[in-house]
Amino acid sequence: MCRLALAILSTIAAACAMSAVDLAALWDFSDPGVSEQRFREALKSAVGDDRLIIQTQIARTHMLRKDFAAARDMLRAISPDVAEAGAEAKARYWLELGRSYASHRHDPTTQTPESARLARNAFSTALKISKEAKLDGLAVDALHMFVFVDTAPEDQLKWNQEALAVIAASEQPEAKRWEASISSNTGEALYDLRKYDEALKYFRRALFLREQSEDSQGARDANWHIARVLRVQNHIDDALAIQLRLERESEAAQQPRAYIYEELQLLYQVKGEANRARQYEQRAKALQR
């Protein structure tokens, strides 16, 4: 059989393996409580692997509220059934188990060598299952979680570049939707390594993708990253123009951000405008209370 035919069959097989439940439609990451209610309602009519998959997402809603013990209890309860389930249910189980030990929601002071070991083992298992089943979106998800275990910028860059390679080689929408986020993460790792010109390329790629998908908040975040690099490169007026525009846009959207005010504080300090800098410092602190 020719290579193209094999690729088509692999894509079809991966699509068939995916859950019948539209998880994205049920998620509201800004409100995990509402998300849990939606998942529990969907659970009432779900059967087979879909029941297990939904329960992994309910566990994740607990993690977003920093109740990691409750999440692990739920995952522990479904573990025997997951062992006999299909690839997606298994991959999602191991992904969420890993997130219960390491994620952006964990306080850094709670991260220990043991929690890192448990998270790494879980993410590695999720990645292996996802790759074997050609579930590219879940493979990218697993790869991007390793940065919470390997926190050195060099390691984070490696994991992000591997995730981008999976995205580039995939035709699956579940993988392609990750490109903006992973591009931004790659830019952040390069920024931490002080490779500012390279970082700008990835932040601009993220901006392009956010604008293509009409993600206004994501576009503002990408512009913020770009302006921060410009400040470090001493392009102060260019950076200031972007941050002032972001200030107007975010406030118009009723989504003010402390990090925008913090950048404006730094920019006005560089320009020698102490009063303006102090005003933005106070505004940033007010949002952080």
46: domain CATH number is 1.25.40
pLDDT of residue 136: 98
**Is 42 in the same domain as 118?**
yes
Query: What separation in angstroms does the CA of 24 have from each of 21, 35, 47, 94, 195?
Result: 9, 10, 18, 19, 35
**Is 193 in the same domain as 260?**
yes
251-254 contacts at long range (C-beta below 8 A, 24 or more positions apart): 253/216, 253/217
Its pTM stands at 0.87
Q: How many CB atoms lie within 10 A of CB 252?
A: 9
**Is 198 in the same domain as 241?**
yes
Number of domains in the chain: 2
Q: What is the mean pLDDT of residues 195-211?
A: 98
Q: What is the mean pLDDT of residues 73-90?
A: 97
Of the chain, the end-to-end C-alpha distance in Å amounts to: 62
| Domain stop point among 121, 141, 168 | 168
Confidence of residue 11 (pLDDT cuts 50, 70, 90): very low
Find the domain containing 236 and state its range: 178-289
Q: Is residue 154 part of a domain?
A: yes
